[in-house]
Amino acid sequence: MSHMNRRRALQLLAALGTTGLVAGCGTDDDAGETIADGSPIKIGLVAPESGAGKAVGQDMVNGFELYLSMHDQRLGGHPVTLEKRDEGDTAKTGQAAVNDLLKQGVLALTGVANPVVMSGIRDIVEKARVPLIGSNASPLSLQSVVYIWRTSYVLDEPGRALGGYLKERMPPGSRVVVIAPEGGGSLDVVQGFRQAFGVDDPRLAGEPIWAKSSANPGENTYADDIRAALARKPDAIFCHFTGQAAIQFIRQLRRTRPSYTGPLYAPGFLTEGNVLNEVRGVLLDDDDNLLPGTIQTASNYSADLNNAANRVFASAYRKTYNVSPSTYAMASYDAAQVLDKAIRLAGPNPTPQQVNLALGKIGQIDSPRGVWQFNQPRTPQQKWYLRTVQLDGRLLSNVMVSEVATLG
């Protein structure tokens, strides 16, 4: 951090008693001197502003804007104008958002919540030769890109992390059922899980159950699929649902009779954002005690990680937005951090192509998730964590249990 950045961080964290951490979170970029002001630059942020992805989009905006506020609205010494556009929920709406930002002369792009949108804008970004720092999970099919980088992960990775974990821990003779909505990113997630667990492992109780895909499912959308899953008498369930679909799946699973009280495993999407608040009524009894049936998720981030970078980030995020940060917010914060480093390396008058080249030279990132770096496919090589849903005071929270894998 420059001296100006430290002052901003101190202002944000003073009330929390964490100012002493700021002095310890510098990086190799710290030269002890404030970098001279560069020319103004524009960064384009693409995120959903309505519909099922709105909450994810808001977290992404929050994470990027928090980094800017802690760094005097500058990246690499340049004053930043953040141009935001609505991603929508289709490849077509995402393409329109990206094309509009390119017309504005942005130095780089970031965001993109929907894997379908990421696939849909690939050719536009590559042809424009403007770097995109995607800050949500991207499809496995996105290969051989030059200008697209990701600070989140590839969609098969949480399945791989949990598949390897459960393979070592499920006893002989046990039964694991896989259930997920058809299409979208589910194919990548389920493929990762099955490959890591063992496609021919007899503990997999049949083929995956593919539920109806719906951005706004009703109260009985998954009822038949859940009954089909429970008919296989599982000892554990692996699933993949996000947002409103996650809320409805958890509610319907807990309300199905006879009730399922075994463990539920999933990528971190299942319990991110506002999901836990919405399902509180089916996870707690009348005395606010957790009902039987653990929910454990694999994620590249947990808000309670005990490292200096996360203590600074999570404290500032809670102070600014009055909620704990999600993996979506963290990955967007890191996208800003990555751009900060790359733009600095690109020199006083950076072009998109120079920034893209610099992205390959930034090395390790001191992130709230832990230290990571880009691999050859331009995604993070990073740790994965097992989290469990627990009460933290009166709030339901994702609490880190252990590291389960390093992937990427």
**Per-residue model confidence as pLDDT tens digits over 78-93:** 999 999 999 998 999 9
On the question of pLDDT at 292 being above 50, the answer is: yes
Q: Which two tokens stand for residue 140?
A: 């496995």
Nearest one of 136, 35, 132 to 352, comparing CA atoms:
132
Average pLDDT over residues 324-347: 97
Q: How many CB atoms lie within 10 A of CB 31?
A: 8
Provide the Cα torsion 56, 57, 63, 69; round to 10°. -150
Comparing 19-23, 111-115, 236-240, 320-324, the range with the smallest average pLDDT is 19-23
Q: pLDDT, tens digit, for every residue of 148-192?
A: 999 999 999 999 999 999 999 999 999 999 999 998 789 999 999
Q: Are 401 and 386 in contact (CB under 8 A)?
A: yes
State the burial class of residue 40 (Cβ atoms within 10 Å of its Cβ: 0-12, 13-18, 19+): exposed
Average pLDDT of every residue of the chain: 91
Average pLDDT over residues 217-227: 96
Q: Which two tokens stand for residue 306?
A: 């005990």
Average pLDDT over residues 366-391: 97
pLDDT at 37: 65
pLDDT at 183: 82
Bond prior to 258 in cis (omega within 30° of 0) = yes
